[in-house]
Each structure stands twice: as C-alpha cells, then as structure tokens.
Amino acid sequence: MRRTALCAAVTCLALLAGATQVSAQGGQRFFERLDQDRNGTVTLGEMRAMRNRRMAMIDANGDGRISRREFMSARPPWARGRPRPQMARRRARIFSRIDADGDGYISEGEREASLVRWFARMDADRNGRLTRREFIEARRRFRGGPARRFERLDANRDGAISFKELLNLRADQMQAADRDKDGKVSRREFLARGPRDRPRLARRSRLFDRLDANRDGYITPLENGLALKSWFGRLDANRDGRLTKQEIEARRFRQAPQLR
C-alpha cells in the first residue's frame, strides 16, 4: 500500500496475451503475432483473441477462472527449465493486481478489466489501435522503474504529484485490500496483498505496525491519511504541496548510505 505495484510488463503479456521477449527485437516479433490481419496495427480485439487462447491453456480444470496455482505454474511457450525466483515474484504481484476482489481467482471480468486498462495505457493517441511504435515505446516505458511509478502517481500529468493524487491512489488501494468491506484493513487483509515470500511478508508486517497508530489491529482511513501526510511532508522540500521528481530523488539519495 505504501508503494504502487510495479507492472512486470513482459510477464503480464506472457500470461495474459501470449509470449514476449525482453529485447526490442522480441517485442517486434510479439507485435507481429498480435497483428493477426497484418495491417500494421493491433486492436483490443486482436489482443483479446490471443489472450483468450492463452487463458484456455492456463485454465487447467476448465472452470472459466484462473486460480493462483494455475497462474503461478503456467509456463510461457519459450520457457525452458525451472522458472527463476524473480519471475515467480513478478507473477505473484501480477496475480494480486488482477485479482481485484482478492478471492484467489482471476475471473473473466477481472481479466477483461485488466486488459482494457493495459491497452489504454499503450494507446497513446486514443484511436483504438496500437502501432508498432506505440507498442515498443510502451514496453520501454513500462520497464522504466521509478520514472514509470512517478507517471502513474501523476494523474493529471502536470509533472508533479499532489497530496490529493496520492490520497486518491491510497484510498483505491485501501478499498481493494478491504475484502470484508468494513471500511478498514485488518492485518490479514493487508498481508494478503502482494507477494507472499517470507522477506516481503516481514516487510509488510512492519509497515502495518507503523500505519496502525492505535495498535488495534486495523488500518483506518484516518490512520492511512495521517501516515501519508507525514511521508509527503518529509519529501516536499519547498513546502509547495507538490512533489517533483527532483524532490523524490533528493530524498532517496539522502537516505542512501554514504561512501567515505
């Protein structure tokens, strides 16, 4: 909840649309597979068709939904040998993000919503068709690390992040984590979001303890807002109510160990 989940674009495409490679050449080959009518552009329908074929392969028991186990065990067509640990962690993050209601399954509706959002982010000119250039540029942007996270937070694209933008995003994350819809997030709900390897669970548990100010075992919207306000204030060096990339980077460098 403190950080936005990073989209491992290559893995996401492999599991939801087909398969891709990390190189630009691999991206071009994947674009050509998506472009079924060979007209030089890819539509949402073409992408959906490939995704549906891949889903049929992943859905081992044929019940029309994808369990975490099915998702984690699915192998991209090019894969050889055992998957690397970092790939498993990426898949776990992707699954948690697509599984909007947190029930441990990805439904057709959740898959469709994820695909539509992903396509919209790639379709720069909003004409409903992806050109090769848009596709390659989007792959580069999705793999941009901190720069991409900043762009996702900067909802109005004005080059700075306001407290309201952060608060709105955090509210959405709170709502997604609140499985029983009681208006607050329990420790169990909090830990259920994201990868479940031991080191990350330990970090999320420590974060929960910091956010749960009154130690009642729940994070309320008020506690969430107060913690976010404190964090925002530490980064907002000029106190103008907006965070620039320079302010965020400066804070990160100050926190980094100094080399003597």
CA distance 15 to 95: 10
- pLDDT reading at 133 higher than 90: no
Task: Band the pLDDT of 259: cuts 50, 70, 90.
Answer: very low
pLDDT at residue 76, as a whole number: 59
- With 0-12 / 13-18 / 19 or more C-beta atoms within 10 angstroms meaning exposed / middle / buried, residue 215 is exposed
Q: What angle do CA 143, 94, 156 make, to 5 degrees?
A: 60
pLDDT at residue 143, as a whole number: 59
pLDDT at residue 222, as a whole number: 92
Neighbours of 96 (CB within 10 A): 18
Task: Tell me the three state secondary structure of residue 217.
Answer: coil
pLDDT at residue 147, as a whole number: 61
- pLDDT reading at 51 higher than 80: yes
The domains found in the chain, sorted by start residue, are: 9-143 (1.10.238.10), 161-255 (1.10.238.10)
- DSSP string computed for 109-133: HHHHHHHHHHHHHH-TT-SSEEEHH
Picking from 158, 141, 119, 128, the residue whose alpha carbon sits closest to that of residue 243 is: 158
- pLDDT reading at 7 higher than 70: no
pLDDT digit string, tens, across residues 62-74: 898 999 889 888 7
pLDDT at residue 39, as a whole number: 93
Instruction: List, in order, residues 6 or more apart from 83 with CB less than 8 Å away.
Output: 75
pLDDT at residue 256, as a whole number: 42
Most confident of 21-35, 37-51, 67-81, 187-201: 37-51
CA distance 66 to 64: 7
- pLDDT reading at 23 higher than 80: no
- Give the amino acid at 154: D
pLDDT digit string, tens, across residues 72-95: 887 655 455 555 555 677 788 788
- Among 3-12, 43-52, 125-134, whose mean pLDDT is lowest? 3-12
pLDDT at residue 22, as a whole number: 38
Name the β-bridge partners of 66. 106
Distances (CA, A) of 216 to 104, 210, 232, 248: 26, 12, 24, 32
- pLDDT reading at 177 higher than 80: yes
CA distance 195 to 193: 7
